[in-house]
Structure 1
Amino acid sequence: MRLILASGSPRRRQLLTELGLAYEIRLREVDESFPPHLRRAEVAEYLARHKAEAYRPDLAPDELLLTADTIVCLDEQVLNKPADAAEARFMLGRLQGRTHQVYTGVCLLPGDGRPPVVFSDETTVYFQPLTAAEIAHYVAQYKPFDKAGAYGAQDWLGLVGIARLEGSYFNVMGLPTHLVWPAVQGFLA
């Protein structure tokens, strides 16, 4: 089967490449809203599956689609991608000095009619206290508007702000590679 990545994320591309997987990229706009009753991992899995369903009609029988969605949760609130710099600074102000969870949902949808495989992973992130100046610098320099929770673990803010993680670092980057690898191999074998 040919692997199709339905994501514009350069981090997901990097991780799949580092896994040694050959893939093709397909992109389309998909609504990222979710039912309000869903919580945490349910949201990430719902969004990954929802994205995959948008591609289903165009999949060939020999194709395997991979979609993913990463969310940041502070307490029970989902922090999605910030709309602008003010919202990014607000989100980061709330995250600094606190612990939060990152969930990445993944959907593998084969084009041959087999049912999709959907799963997620959770990582707990401990953020150091940050100053308003550090947050403003990060938002101005790195423009994290395409990142859930307004930060990338691999960016400057991750280097200075993440004190420790419980779980997969790669999950925080946007793809739980330790779960994706065996799941993809199950389809490609």
Structure 2
Amino acid sequence: MLNNKIYKYCGENVKNIILASASPRRQQLLEQIGIKFKAVPSNIEEVIDNTLEPSRIAMSLAGQKCKDIASGTAEDCIVIGADTIVVSGSKVLGKPKNEEDAFNMLSSLNGEWHQVITGLCLYRTGLNISLYDSETTKVRIAKKSDDFIKAYIATKEPFDKAGGYGIQGYGSLLVERIEGCYFNVMGLPIYKLSCMLDRLGYSINLDNI
């Protein structure tokens, strides 16, 4: 399924970008680098293959979203699919289901390192070419009291975020340090994405912003 061939499209540049996500953080990151795009969230039921290594789980989920939206698109465009997972030890953490789940999740990360992995799938509809890649960032959560964790959960910020925290919000008070791409922890590794877009015929030109 994974297509890792190196493509560099040298014809007419594609102009249309579709983000297969409703994430306001991913939309914000695309907007801040001047990419004009249309957000079309995928509502498919995600299929997780736990036999895969974590990076391939993330890429598989990104591919499912990307291909779902691309299948209903007639125009020549690039569809961006992304999925972010948190890995603690050998356990993949998703979004907490409730306050108890959020507390257990954050307690397991408390004072420890973990990995944040974002899988990317980009599909150029006019060329029938897909690219897959992933980015991994190591994150250390500071040692916090149970009362602090409960107060953070009370902000409601953890509930739409893998791992139960958001580095760009109140969750920044939990993050002691990171090793790797900060934007990856937000949900979209910008530099890696820009390289993949370039390979499919979309170059970000700051002169046109």
Structure 2 residue aligned with 1:65:
79
1:162 to 161, 168, 175: 175
Structure 2 residue aligned with 1:95:
109
Q: What CA distance in whole angstroms lies between the structure 1 residues aligned with 2:118 and 2:165?
A: 15
Q: What CA distance in whole angstroms lies between the structure 2 residues aligned with 1:89 and 1:63?
A: 41
* Residues 39 and 76 in structure 1, CA contact (< 8 A), matched pair in contact too: no
Q: What amino acid is aligned across from residue 29 of structure 1 in structure 2? A: N
Q: What CA distance in whole angstroms lies between the structure 2 residues aligned with 1:179 and 1:85?
A: 34
Q: What amino acid is aligned across from residue 160 of structure 2 in structure 1? A: D
* Residues 71 and 103 in structure 1, CA contact (< 8 A), matched pair in contact too: yes
Kindly state the Cα deviation for residue 171 of structure 1 after the two structures are TM-superposed.
Answer: 0.2
Identity %: 36
Q: What CA distance in whole angstroms lies between the structure 1 residues aligned with 2:140 and 2:183?
A: 15
Residue 172 (structure 1) aligned with residue 185 (structure 2): yes
Moved over 3 A (4+): none
Structure 2 residue aligned with 1:123:
137
TM-score, with structure 2 as normaliser: 0.86
Count of residue pairs brought into register by the alignment: 188
2:98 to 74, 77, 84: 84
Structure exhibiting the larger radius of gyration computed from Cα positions: 2
Instruction: Tell me whether 95-104 or 34-43 shows the greater mean CA deviation.
Output: 34-43
Secondary structure at 2:171 match in 1:
helix
Q: What CA distance in whole angstroms lies between the structure 1 residues aligned with 2:118 and 2:42?
A: 19
1:10 to 19, 24, 28: 24
Q: What CA distance in whole angstroms lies between the structure 1 residues aligned with 2:46 and 2:159?
A: 15
1:10-67 CA deviation, whole Å, 9 max, x = no partner?
1101100011100011123122231120121111111001111212321224111001
Instruction: Tell me whether 139-148 or 114-123 shows the greater mean CA deviation.
Output: 139-148
Kindly state the Cα deviation for residue 116 of structure 1 after the two structures are TM-superposed.
Answer: 0.6
Q: What amino acid is aligned across from residue 17 of structure 1 in structure 2? A: E
Instruction: Tell me whether 86-95 or 113-122 shows the greater mean CA deviation.
Output: 113-122
TM-score, with structure 1 as normaliser: 0.95
Alignment gaps of 5+ in structure 2: 1-13, 204-209
Please give the root-mean-square deviation of Cα atoms over the aligned residues, in Å: 1.2
Secondary structure at 2:64 match in 1:
helix
Alignment gaps of 5+ in structure 1: none
